Amino acid sequence: MNITLITDIRKITLTSFDYNIIRSISKDTILLQVEGDLTKPSNRGIVITDTEQGIRLWSQKGYPVIAYSHGKNAQEELMGTPWLILSLTALSEEYLTEVWCRFYKIPLEILHTERCYLRELSMKDLPDLLRLDADQPPESPGRFFKGEPGTEEEYLSSYIRCQYPFFAYGLYGVYKKETGEFLGIAGFYLPDDHDGKEKNSSDGWLKVSFGEKNSHARGNDSLEIGYAVKKSVRRKGYAKEWIRALVDHAQKNMQIHHIIARIPVENKASVAAAISAGGTLLVL
């Protein structure tokens, strides 16, 4: 994606297979045409505007709107949309795709492995998640639903609405490339010891580490990786494949260089998968 950096929003030139400016709507607003499938919403565009009026107008018309704050519109509060950029360099294909998918509630695809793809969960995954949990012991860390208040449907809806947009990571559904078959879940969450209380082997847990914690990093520099493989497709190397891809994704794209996996001592297959994926078994 090529963007010419010109202060006047009317003179932006952008060319891409997926996104093209089709017209200048007004002196302060442009419309990016979105091509391809992306579930085919009726409004095929993303609006970029640098005024409050533009945000209100195009939000009411049902378009996703990105606010653009720059040196010449400091008087504008630019409220009314969750998306705001401070530089046109932010208009990457990845960013625009995320805006589009968040607005239309389309689960984002996260990555591909040799045999699978991982994407954000959707409400359509509820039956598969319930079956996945039914195949595991009640206290298994691989269960998606862990006895939270309310129904499983309510919890999944809340998870989708809050986890991905605010944290930019979470547990993802894993699907077979050839058929779209649901194979399990895999992804990230905050380590159990982020509050200073760490599980250890005496409590029945083992810890496998990937990468090294950055002692100079501000805030949290570690994530915990979790995964659960559907019973009918276990022992086919899927967990190892997912772990490798997720660790690589975290280190290259999320700037998270320390990943840990906490695994029950008795789950020898999961421990072996994590170690074979490049992890180091730590003595707690």
Residues sharing a CB contact under 8 Å with residue 19, sequence separation 6 or more, in sequence order? 1, 32, 33, 34, 35, 46, 93, 96
Instruction: Tell me, yes or no, whether 67 and 200 share the same domain.
Output: no
Instruction: Tell me, yes or no, whether 269 and 134 share the same domain.
Output: yes
Domain limit, last residue, from 103, 121, 140: 103
What does the pLDDT look like over 244-255, one tens digit per residue? 999 999 999 998
Instruction: Tell me, yes or no, whether 72 and 131 share the same domain.
Output: no
Instruction: Tell me, yes or no, whether 150 and 275 share the same domain.
Output: yes
Instruction: Tell me, yes or no, whether 247 and 178 share the same domain.
Output: yes
Instruction: Tell me, yes or no, whether 243 and 270 share the same domain.
Output: yes
Instruction: Tell me, yes or no, whether 123 and 49 share the same domain.
Output: no
- Give yes or no for a contact between 208 and 270, defined as CB atoms under 8 angstroms apart: no
What does the pLDDT look like over 77-95, one tens digit per residue? 999 999 999 987 888 878 8
Domain limit, last residue, from 103, 132, 153: 103
CATH of the domain at 151: 3.40.630.30
Tokens of 268: 């020898």
**CA-to-CA distance for 1 and 19, rounded, in angstroms?**
8
Domain limit, last residue, from 52, 85, 103: 103
- What's the domain range around 70? 2-103
What does the pLDDT look like over 212-244, one tens digit per residue? 865 444 446 789 999 999 999 999 999 999 999
Instruction: Tell me, yes or no, whether 248 and 129 share the same domain.
Output: yes
Percent over 70 (pLDDT), the chain: 77
Q: How many structural domains comprise the chain?
A: 2
Q: Per-residue pLDDT averaged across 102-115, rounded?
A: 93
Instruction: Tell me, yes or no, whether 99 and 116 share the same domain.
Output: no
Global confidence as pTM:
0.81
**Band of residue 16 on the pLDDT scale cut at 50, 70, 90:** very low
| Residue 14: predicted pLDDT | 35
Instruction: Tell me, yes or no, whether 96 and 158 share the same domain.
Output: no
Q: Per-residue pLDDT averaged across 261-271, rounded?
A: 90
Nearest residue to 50 (alpha-carbon basis) of 24, 22, 21, 70? 70
Instruction: Tell me, yes or no, whether 231 and 117 share the same domain.
Output: yes
- Give yes or no for a contact between 30 and 9, defined as CB atoms under 8 angstroms apart: yes
| Residue 271: predicted pLDDT | 92
